[in-house]
Structure 1
Amino acid sequence: MRSSDNVLKRKQANKMSVGLKLPLAVLTDSYKATHYLQYPPSSKMVAYGEFRSGYARDKADTRLVFHGMRYLVEQYLSRQWTESDVTQADTFFRTHMGPDNSKFPFPRGMFLKFVNENQGYFPVKLECLQEGTCIHPHVPVYQITSEGEYSTLCTFMETLLTMVWYPTTVATLSRRCRDLIEEAFEKTVDLGRESPLLGSRLHDFGFRGCTCVEQSILGGTAHLLNFDGTDTLSAAYYAQFVLNNGVPVASSVPATEHSVMTAWATEKEAIDNMLEHFGAGIFSVVMDSYDYAEALSEVLPSVAAKKVEKGGFMILRPDSGDPLEAVLAALHAAEKVFGADVNQKGYKVPRGCGVIQGDGIGYDSLSKIIDGVVEAGFSLEACAFGMGGGLLQRVNRDTMSFATKLSHIVYKDGSTADLMKAPKSDPSKASLPGILAVRRVDGVPTAFPADAPEMQHVDNLLQVVYDGRPCKDDWEDFTGVRRRVAEEWSALPKTANVISHGLRHKMVQIAHDRRVSAEN
């Protein structure tokens, strides 16, 4: 790739920067600014990040889709700090003190030093998995290394980097939903998993439920790893022009909302207008502005002739009531008004009409609706789903229990220690010790000590993406990441032991040594 192309890509990424222009020094937790005084004198520190559980503590299927580090590297870690940033932060921290403290600690001198000597780039090395890598909990997804006079800044950026929990969780949820839909497609659709309709069956309705534009980009893009249907334009644009060299990755269809339907004298007039403008293609009409049952029994038959004449595909959208009952009512109405064919697998497919359910959709309700549709004898190709808050908003860091922990230190005297958190009150929060590496064992990404014999002459899946300055301009395009997710997810066993024997032995030894030390 030409250097001019790299510069252009970086400029495109920077143009996507959204939100408040805050000094980088305050894009962390307050206590992080004090840790440089709390760590013991050292010449090197290493920390890593991991998910400690599968989605929603599911023990039967712990697979997850790692995604979102590119955004954090390009938007934040690769930004150059300025003397103005440091001055602003110093001014702020002078006022940010609790009772009986004269000044809140802030390493002003250390920050000014790398501003002047490192062109303002934050002085750490970051390694991470490739975007779209499918793993199990406890596999390190990134590793941070800081050295020399900057060693105590190792975990300063933890707050920002930890935010990779969000796109990873959304990507994982979306993929799990795709599993539900794929299974039903395989059972009820002639082409099964190979059907071109599959990618449009779960549509992102979540933009308006997001807390900010940035959330919509991160979560919306994560969903697009698995599906190509979205109304979250911010994500579709970002994925297309920043991540995929301008190649489209998402689409939508014209659709009414309640405001449109109620603006006309009757729902029939609103639908007639849609048919006039979009009747030859695919379009969606919300049907419950007044009386959903009446709209299906009276209004739909009244527009049937014009709809058939136009020749397009009409999608009925309920938006209230019991989700399963609403979907089945629409399917039965479509069958009654337009007729239905029975496909090769014995399931009914209404002619030129389907339904999209976008109200109350989450993983569990999606599963229930799919089961109900199949039980009623309909092919799932007649159904699509819109997922809003359940997709982009109803998740948090604890959904897959993400954490970053210090794992290795080289003290000033040259001695070293592999560090491990191991709380008796919650063993599930134990961390991994030492400098870490990841390799595949029988296709499964597995955590090893970096110096393990098994890591010799083997590629470490943790790749350097930032080394004291931006160093990666060849991020894989979005199409490639999508392909990786599809291939790795289906190939990965639903559960696996991902801590190598050598690493587990080290954990046992450290715990033993700590007990002996405490007893003495």
Structure 2
Amino acid sequence: MNGLIPFNLCDFYKTGHPAMYPGETTKLVANFTPRSAKHAPVLPQFFDNKIVWFGLQGFIKEFFLGVFQREFFEAPKAEALRKYKRRMDTALGPDAVPVDRLAALHDLGYLPLELRALPEGARVNIKVPPVVFVNTHPDFPWVSTYFETLFSAELWKPSTVATIAFEFRKLLTYFAELTGAPQAFVDWQGHDFSMRGMSGIHDAMRCGMGHLLSFTGTDTVPAIDYAEDYYGADADKELVGGSIPASEHSVMTLRILFTLKRLATGRGDAMLTPAALRRLTPEDVAREVQRITKELEETGYEEKGLRRLAEREVIREFVTQDYPAGMVSLVSDSFDYWNVITVIAKELKDEILARKPNALGQSRVVFRPDSGDPVRILAGYDDGELARDADGALRMVDGRYVVAATERTITEAERKGSVQCLWEVYGGTQTEKGYKMLNDKVGLIYGDSISLPRALEIMRRLAAKGFASSNVVFGIGSYTYNMLSRDTFGWAMKAIYAQVGDEPVDIYKDPATDDGTKKSARGLLRVEKDGGDYVLHEQQTLDAFEAGELKPVFRNGELLVTTTLAEIRERLKASWVCPEPGSIAI
């Protein structure tokens, strides 16, 4: 196994750069900066041109204090150099990349590098660098830029995801204020559904923690482990992240179809129990579904009505036997979602209302639609979207409404949306601002293709219909957290200053063929806090460079400053004040 070879964690062109700098170079300074938000999928009503800085401490602990220390400085010199040289020789040609610099670095015994950074959880203005790299030994200026590829690959995404998560937090906080919903509920209203769609487990756990800076709801289990391993969290003493029991389609469809078969053959007493289900492998589940479906087709029965009955009985088992207390989430669109939300929900009303609370006082059944347009599934249609006859009345065809733009017909339930349908069955209370909140025995979560614009539109429609924002939870998945790139906020590391012999050199780039996005900072810099903004000052003196908000956090193989998840959350939350309700044009 090659494993993680520290100085191989780069793209090939970085390996030649140490030899390309002027031989007299003794100091090199580089920064890592979000250069632009022009590609960011954010809401202009809420985005204030700032990113959430996050991920540095985890990187330092995992790589500089872990991989580099273990696999290079603590490894025998010959072995550490052999692995590097072999890769360079096989790919670039024998001795194309000399190893003398790495040999000298191994002799030195530590990484002669200082990182100065802003606090994690700070929201940093676009074009302001949250971290700079400075070599601490005149013989090794190249270490300031050698790690560009590794650092960028590990840092751009956690910080970007943390930023998107906080933009969700802003949106949900604003609508909670607008509609009088409980602010404490916002902590759970954004739920991380992204793990299976992320770029590997490591990516999922780091970005999953980026989500946890703004919310406590998560289904990404290793994100909690990452927070404990690298950010001083302790799930025994604080709420790091949490979730609830929830079904998936394989569970629901198998139990529904198995129950359907028993009903169709007069064996309704032989339902598939949870214990029996747990003994089945995924392959067993797939085969069982196919077998049951085939047998039912051969039996001959009125499928739709019987299947609805079977689904009702399965949901009844879930809410009265499997999970008679506490919270449970049921995926509800396996077959006929609107039947579940309008008919079955009504038929099981007494059972659901009778469920017992757990130790936290929770006893909610959460219905989860998982297909269709999330805006209209949750919040229904505005009347302006429906076709009208010449007399102004809403057009009806066979008892269904006509959608003006598509001529598609929809039911009364579709027109109202899920929140209103549940309200008409279960009722609820009103907030101090007069908005309706569902009975706390029922709720909704939608986790398919949720984006900031869709979440905004759902919030807007619900408010327009008189419903509080807290009636729904959003499962934020890879559609949002993995549909990103380094260009989302234009992250880049660039050298900005060098000392060549006795000559200081301000380094910068300003391509004439660019729109200004790639113009880099020039010379030594200083970052100062001005109110709620971080401000960049370029071409500073050496004394001025030592001042400002960029503080040393790592130097010569030692972590100088540590922070915790709790501190980051507090810092982030304090960085933004919710606008007055009604002050934002929606």
Asked which structure has the greater CA Rg, the reply is 2
- Specify the alignment match of 1:134 in structure 2: 123
The whole-number CA distance in structure 1 between the counterparts of 2:542 and 2:556 is 28
Q: Does 1:462 align with 2:462?
A: no
Q: CA deviation at 1:279?
A: 3.2
1-structure distance, mates of 2:547, 2:367: 51
For 2:556, the aligned partner's letter is G
Q: CA deviation at 1:55?
A: 6.7
Which of 537, 560, 563 does residue 476 from structure 1 map onto? 563
Identity %: 27
Deviation at 1:22, TM superposition (A): 1.5
Which of 492, 507, 510 is the aligned partner of 1:419? 507
For 1:92, the equivalent position in structure 2 comes to 87
Secondary structure at the counterpart of residue 31 of structure 1: helix
Paired letter, 1:377: G
Residues 238-279 of structure 1: CA deviation (Å, up to 9, x unaligned): 214542341331111111111111121232233223222323
TM-superposed CA distance for 1:283, in Å, is 1.5
- The alpha carbon displacement at 1:432 in A equals 0.7
Counterpart amino acid of 1:315?
V
Matching of residues 1-400 of structure 1 within 5 Å: 21-41=3-23, 42-54=25-37, 56-57=39-40, 61-78=48-65, 79-80=68-69, 81=72, 82=75, 83=77, 84-97=79-92, 102-103=93-94, 105-118=96-109, 121-146=110-135, 147-162=137-152, 163-191=154-182, 195-246=183-234, 247-264=238-255, 265=259, 266-275=310-319, 276-311=321-356, 312-328=363-379, 329-351=417-439, 352-400=441-489
CA distance in 1, matches of 2:201, 2:143: 30
More deviation, 426-435/102-111: 102-111
Kindly state the Cα deviation for residue 449 of structure 1 after the two structures are TM-superposed: 4.2
Give the C-alpha shift of residue 399 in structure 1: 0.3
Change (3 A) 1:104 1:212: farther
Which range moves more in the overlay, 441-450 or 146-155? 441-450
In 1, the alpha carbon distance for the partners of 2:169 and 2:517 equals 29
Q: 1:305 to 1:104 in 2, by over 3 A?
A: farther
Q: CA deviation at 1:453?
A: 10
Name the SS of the counterpart of 1:180 in structure 2: helix
Instruction: Name 1:503's counterpart in structure 2.
Output: none
Secondary structure of the equivalent of 1:96?
helix
> For residues 20 and 68 of structure 1, do their structure 2 counterparts lie closer, same or farther at Cα, with a shift above 3 Å needed?
farther
* Residue correspondences, number: 462
Contact in 2 for aligned 1:25/1:86 (Cα 8 Å): no
The alpha-carbon deviation at position 104 of structure 1 amounts to: 6.2
Q: Distance in 1 between matches of 2:465 and 2:118?
A: 44
Partner Cα distance (2:421, 2:520) in 1 = 55
Distance verdict in 2 for CA 1:417–1:345, change over 3 Å: same
Residues of 2 paired with 1:333 and 1:385: CA distance? 18
State the SS of the aligned residue for 1:421.
coil
Unaligned runs of 5+ in 2: 260-309, 357-362, 380-416, 580-586
CA shift, 1:77, in A, is 1.9
Give TM-score, length-normalised by structure 1: 0.84
What amino acid is aligned across from residue 150 of structure 2 in structure 1?
Answer: L
Alpha-carbon separation, structure 1, partners of 2:438 and 2:27: 65
**Aligned residue number for residue 505 of structure 1:** none
- Offset, 1:20: 8.1
The code of the aligned residue for 1:243 comes to Y
C-alpha distance in 2, partners of 1:32/1:61? 35
User: How far does residue 302 in structure 1 lie from its aligned partner after superposition?
Assistant: 2.5
Q: Please state how far the C-alpha of 1:116 moved relative to its aligned partner.
A: 2.5
* Cα pair distance change 1:55/1:389, threshold 3 Å: farther
Per-residue CA distance 1:305-353 (angstroms, 9 max, x = gap): 1111114211111000111221133212211221232332111112121
1:171-225 C-alpha deviation (Å, 9 max, x unpaired): 111111111111110111254xxx2211000100000001111101111001111
Note if contact 2:194-2:477 (Cα within 8 Å) is conserved in structure 1.
Answer: yes
Uncovered stretches (5+) of structure 1, i.e. residues with no partner: 1-18, 493-520
Provide the rounded CA distance (Å) in 1 between the counterparts of 2:225 and 2:313.
33
SS at match of 1:310: coil
Change (3 A) 1:242 1:410: closer
The answer to whether the Cα contact below 8 Å between 2:173 and 2:578 also exists between their aligned partners in 1 is no
CA RMSD of aligned residues (A): 2.3
How far apart are residue 373 of structure 1 and its match? Answer: 1.4
Alpha-carbon distance in 1 for matches of 2:507, 2:544: 20
2:493 corresponding residue in structure 1: 404
Distance in 2 (alpha carbons) for counterparts of 1:404 and 1:343: 49
Cα distance between partner residues in 2 of 1:459 and 1:253: 48
Query: 1:105-124 CA deviation, whole Å, 9 max, x = no partner?
Result: 33412112221221xx3322
CA contact (8 A) 1:319 1:358 kept: yes
Distance 1:385 1:431 in 2: 38
- Alpha-carbon deviation of 1:491? 9.1
Which whole-Å CA distance do the structure 1 matches of 2:181 and 2:217 have between them? 21
Write out per-residue CA displacement over residues 88-119 of structure 1, whole angstroms, 9 at most, x where no aligned residue. Answer: 1111110112xxxx43633412112221221x
Counterpart code for 2:32: G
Closer/same/farther in 2, CA of residues 213 and 356 from structure 1, 3 Å limit: same
Distance 2:574 2:111 in 1: 35
Instruction: Give the distance between the partners of 1:89 and 1:490, measured in 2 at CA.
Output: 50
Once the two structures are TM-superposed, the CA of residue 411 in structure 1 deviates from its matched residue by 1.0
Q: Determine the C-alpha separation between the residues in 2 that align with 1:91 and 1:128.
A: 35
Cα separation, partners in 2 of 1:231 and 1:104, compared to 1, 3 Å: farther
What is residue 502 of structure 1 aligned with on the other side? Answer: none
SS in 1 for 2:60: helix
Q: 1:49 to 1:190 in 2, by over 3 A?
A: closer
Which AA in structure 2 matches 1:317?
R
Cα distance in structure 1, aligned partners of 2:492 and 2:246: 41
8 Å contact from structure 1 (residues 448, 455) kept in 2: no
